[in-house]
Chain A
Amino acid sequence: MNEWTNTGREPDPLPSSLPGPTAPGLGEPQAEVEETLKRIQSHKGVIGTMVVNAEGIPIRTTLDNSTTVQYAGLLHHLTMKAKSTVRDIDPQNDLTFLRIRSKKHEIMVAPDKEYLLIVIQNPCE
């Protein structure tokens, strides 16, 4: 890592990194997170939504703890497997979305480098 040497004045720290008309600073990203999740949850038929980190530890969820932990653990493995499958076939390819449709509902997984967004929806009424 570069070593900082105190040579004179340091640049002033910026108040907030996000440009926004109303910028309470740290509160906004949290509100955004909440708002996004709420929006997803309010879709028709959605049973549950959860955000899981790269190791499978849930961060945010709308279901109860035991179910969340089970879903997180299982889907994390499955997503890793799917990702490695796609990349084995073509190393320049990558997994963007995973949908598992079962008799009762559909599980949607949006993977990322660090997180996983899992949504469970009941498609047919």
Chain B
Amino acid sequence: MAPKQKKKTSRGKKRLKPVLAASEDMEPVNMESMGHPEIYPLVLTTKTQEIFNCRIDEDVTDEQPYKLINKEDIFEDLRNRAAVSDFHPVKKIVQEYPGNELLLVYDKDFKYGLNFYLIATEEGKENYLNPPEVPEEQEEYKEHIPEDVYIYKPPVSKPWVSLGSEKEIEEESVTESTKQITYMISRKRSEFGAPIKFSDQNASSVKDAYIECTAYPDKNFTLKQLEKDVGMQVIPQIKDISTQTKWTYPKNATTQYYPREFSEEEKETLKQSKPLVDFLNNASISVEIALQQNEIMNTFIDDWKYLAEEEGTFGDKTDTHLKEYQSFTDLHSPTEKMITCVSWHPTIYGLIAVSVAVRLSFEDRVHFSGKLLLQPSLILFWSFSDPIHPQLMLESPDDIFCFKFCPSDPNIIAGGCINGQIVMWDITAHADRIENIKAGGSRSKRATLKPMFLLEPESNKEAMYIRHCAVSSIENGHKKVITDIHWLSDTFEINRMGSVFENRSGICCQLVTCSADCTICFWDIRPQKPLTPQTTEKKKEESIEIPFDVPSTFLHLDLSWKPLTKVRLSKGETSLDHCPTKISLNEDHLLCKTQDKMLAQSKTEKAEEMNPYHNLESGMANLLKPIDDFCTKFFVGTEEGEVIYTDWKMEKDPETGRLMSKKPVSHHTIHDGTVHTIQRSPFYNDIILTVGGWNVAIWKEGVMTGPLLQSCCAPKRYTSGHWSLTRPGVFYIGREDGYIDIWDLLEKTHEPAQSQNICITMITYIKPWIFSSKQQFIATADYYGTLHILEIPWTLSRPSTNEMASVNHYFEREVKHLEYVEQRKKIREQEKKEMELEMAKKKVKTYQKSKEQMQAELKMDYESYLELEKTVLINLGLIKVTEKGSYMEVM
């Protein structure tokens, strides 16, 4: 259709000319379908565009794609060109258009199909011209200009709606209630600029110099705090206290009191008082009930606990054999030797001393005496770490048959010789040498993989020969071999009379020896006060040179040592004496534990002061207190197999006035051979084991009737014996065929519980020793000079629970048995006497028969005898029956 002309929008809103449709009957097509009912698309030809000044790209551009056209112009165009006019289709719309100007928009993109469109309503026009208000138009606008930025629309003020907040604001706002008064103060005009003089003034001195408003508690404003937020923490209560004591000077204060006691008369009167009687009658009832309860049953016993055996055994329980641990032989000795005595070192672990003697009979000894003189007799010290070389060798003038370590000082050794001398050694100088074997031993333990013979000692040390430092006097001592030697306990000492005194020196200083010359001698190692006339002679003797390496501990004793007392064991009427082989004193040092304690004690003493053995004279001058109630009796075993219980205290013979030894208290011949062991049990001080010949006997001191146990004869001779150190009922016996018999009194008492072979020859000495609670050894010496060390298994070393009580019980039973036997003996004797009396009575009765009767009886006897003779002869065939008999009678 004809292009419409638009007017520019710079004039604002303008009325457009209404556009009339070309033909009225044709309804214009609107864009109702697209949601814009006021939009009518139009085609405007170039002519129309020129008429209405809406030429494309000249009047209507992209920036301004619309034009406002007056209605009148459109009507004019319609009149001019009628149906040809482009506005013809929209003629009706234009006619109906209320306003004056219509909006014509250039539809560049042919959005509505044609190149122009007309907006038919004022509202649409408004919307188009003011796009932000109309979202539809805005959409269109947006389509037109895709990169449109957000257009800020300022908020439009709305009328305020009151919600009641102005009241709050009014309340909160601070307004002046009263009008403020203003003052203006100024100085007099004349004084302006005048110099000012300041001065101090005390405010309180001048009245009304100041006005103050003092603070006062206004009751209107006291608030009661009803709630308070407080934090709390709990801490322990701490209190700090300090005191200061007044330390004057320390004062010793003692109190002595004694209890109140009644005198005898008071006691008597009280006894007779009625209240006491009544009380006793009442009280004894309940007491007796309580006593009987206890007798019936022990209610506090824990049966479960007593049922259990000891657990925690080390090693196999079934292992009951002694295990061979080590054996020592002296390979360097030229002649064959036998071991006579064995002793473990009391303190050092693994050190054992053996005395060896030549294995010759007396005759051979005499025969070879020249040769024997050249060989030294030795005591060898063996250590576990070195089985080939002895650590120390102690020299003695002759073969030693018994020796003992001194209990208070293990460096002093006393030995008894075959010639009757006592030999003393002091190895204090070499003590560190043997003590350090321990360290050497531990080193060699690592190399135990090597066989024994390859083990070399760490340092190639020569075995040390240590000379004895004292021997006893030859004339005054024993004349024959010393068979036993003991150190006396350091709790007592004896004097010449045999009376016992307390020992103040704290060390063992006395010895007792017994020898085959039937005497028992007591010796004192301290220097004795020399009797004056003998000094000159002694000096001559003492001019013998002493080698430099011998310690001078016992120099005073050397060669001049005399016994303190001699006890002669005489047999009474006969001139023969008992020959003692072993003795057992009351206090013997068998228990290792007490030894340790004592050694520890003595060691501490020695640390402070000099070795008391080097200073033996110091203790001599003390006045000693005699000990009462000391049992001076002891057991002696003799060569003939007797066990004698005698006293060492000397008594004065009333006739001669000489000191005589007492008669033995009891005397039994039990053994068939020499008694070579008399030993007290380490657990019971009054139980003694004696071994000799072919049997064993156990005695109780005080029971004089006989031994508690006497074993029957064994097949082989018993040659040595020792109690076990840990088990009260066990003892070890060595036999002459190299077997050890282990006896257990709780198992069997008629024969040994076990028998084990150790070596091929006679066992000469047994000595067990405890090293620790787990290790116990037994040293067995044999006739061929070998020392075997065996380990005692767990079962033999560990006592079972209540073993001591059971063994005690056993001994008590045996004592009772002996008493019973005694009683029975008496009863039997009585019975015997009675029987004899009866027999005697009977005999008397028969004797009272008349003589005639007797004769008749005799005759009858004679006749019966003849008959007997006849029958016998007939039987023998010497007489023919009947005929010949009658012929003989005729004859």
Residues of A within 8 A of B (CB): 17, 26, 29-30, 32-33, 36-37, 39-40, 43-46, 51, 53, 55-60, 65, 69, 72-73, 96-97, 99, 101, 106, 108, 110, 112, 114-115, 117, 119, 121, 123-124
Contact = CB atoms under 8 A, between A and B. Distances in A.
Contacts of B270: 53, 59
Contacts of B280: 32-33, 36-37, 51, 115, 117
Q: Sorted from nearest, which 10 A-B pairs have the closest CB atoms?
A: A110-B283, A123-B294, A69-B259, A117-B283, A29-B277, A43-B291, A112-B279, A124-B298, A115-B279, A36-B284
A22 to B, nearest CB: 16
Given A40-B284, A57-B262, A33 B271 contact: yes
Nearest to B289: A97
A57 B271 contact: no
A51 B260 contact: no
A111 to B, nearest CB: 8
Given A110-B286, A123-B298, A40 B291 contact: yes
B287 A40 contact: yes
Nearest to B270: A59
Nearest to A53: B270
Contact of B279 (A55, A114, A119): A114
A43 B288 contact: yes
A90 B279 CA distance: 24
Contacts of A40: 284, 287-288, 291
Nearest to B281: A36
A41 to B, nearest CB: 10
A45 B259 CA distance: 28
A53 B269 CA distance: 13
Give the secondary structure class of A's interface.
mixed
Contacts of B300: 101
A96 B286 contact: yes
Contacts of A33: 271, 276-277, 280
A33 B275 CA distance: 11
B287 A115 contact: no
Contacts of A101: 300
Interface string B270-311: 111111110111111011101110110010110000000000
B267 interface: yes
B272 A30 contact: yes
B58 interface: no
B655 interface: no
Contacts of A37: 280
A117 B287 contact: yes
A29 B294 CA distance: 29
A69 B291 CA distance: 23
Contacts of A115: 275-276, 279-280, 283
- Of B259, B274, B295, the most chain A CB neighbours within 10 A belong to B259
Interface of B: 259-262, 267, 270-277, 279-284, 286-288, 290-292, 294-295, 298, 300-301
A106 B271 contact: no
18 contacts: A33-B271, A39-B288, A43-B295, A55-B260, A57-B259, A57-B260, A59-B271, A60-B267, A97-B290, A106-B294, A108-B291, A110-B286, A110-B287, A112-B279, A115-B276, A117-B280, A119-B287, A124-B298
Contacts, number: 100
Contact of A124 (B279, B288, B301): B301
B274 A17 contact: yes
B290 A73 contact: no
B805 to A, nearest CB: 9
A111 B791 CA distance: 59
Given A43-B291, A57-B259, 6 more contacts: A29-B276, A43-B288, A59-B267, A69-B259, A108-B291, A117-B284
Nearest to A44: B295
A62 to B, nearest CB: 14
A56 B262 CA distance: 11
Nearest to B283: A110
A113 to B, nearest CB: 8
Nearest to B298: A124
A110 B286 CA distance: 8
Given A30-B272, A123-B298, A112 B288 contact: no
Given A46-B291, A121-B291, A124-B301, A69 B261 contact: yes
Contacts of A69: 259, 261
Contacts of B276: 29, 33, 51, 59, 114-115
Interface centre among A37, A56, A110, A119 (most CB of B within 10 A): A110
B298 to A, nearest CB: 5
Contacts of A108: 287, 290-291
A102 to B, nearest CB: 10
Interface centre among B259, B262, B294 (most CB of A within 10 A): B294
Contacts of A57: 259-262
A30 B272 CA distance: 5
A96 B272 CA distance: 24
Nearest to A110: B283
B285 to A, nearest CB: 9
A4 to B, nearest CB: 22
A90 to B, nearest CB: 20
Contacts of B292: 43
A30 B271 contact: yes
A40 B270 CA distance: 19
Contacts of B283: 110, 112, 115, 117
Contacts of B284: 36, 39-40, 110, 117
Nearest to B273: A29
Nearest to B285: A110
Contacts of A72: 259
A99 B271 CA distance: 25
B278 to A, nearest CB: 9
A99 B290 contact: yes
- Among the interface residues A32, A44, A55, A123, which one has the most CB atoms of the partner chain B within 10 A? A123
Nearest to A115: B279
Nearest to A49: B287
A73 to B, nearest CB: 7
Contact of B272 (A29, A55, A73, A106): A29
Contacts of A56: 260
A58 B262 contact: yes
A39 B291 CA distance: 11
A13 B815 CA distance: 60
B427 to A, nearest CB: 46
Contacts of B301: 124
B277 to A, nearest CB: 4
Residue among B267, B275, B279 with most chain A CB within 10 A: B279
B292 to A, nearest CB: 8
Contact of A114 (B260, B275, B286): B275
A73 B258 CA distance: 11
A59 B262 contact: yes
Contacts of A32: 277, 280-281
Contacts of A99: 290
A69 B258 CA distance: 10
Contact of B294 (A59, A60, A114, A121): A121
Contacts of A30: 271-272
A121 B294 CA distance: 8
Contacts of A97: 286, 290
A69 B257 CA distance: 12
A45 B400 CA distance: 52
A58 B263 CA distance: 10
A58 B260 CA distance: 9
A119 B272 contact: no
Given A97-B286, A108-B290, A121-B291, A26 B272 contact: yes
A121 B291 CA distance: 7
Contacts of A55: 260
Nearest to A46: B291
Most interface-central of B272, B284, B286, B300 (chain A CB within 10 A): B284
Contacts of B275: 114-115
Among B261, B270, B287, find the residue whose CB has the most chain A CB atoms closer than 10 A: B287
A110 B270 CA distance: 18
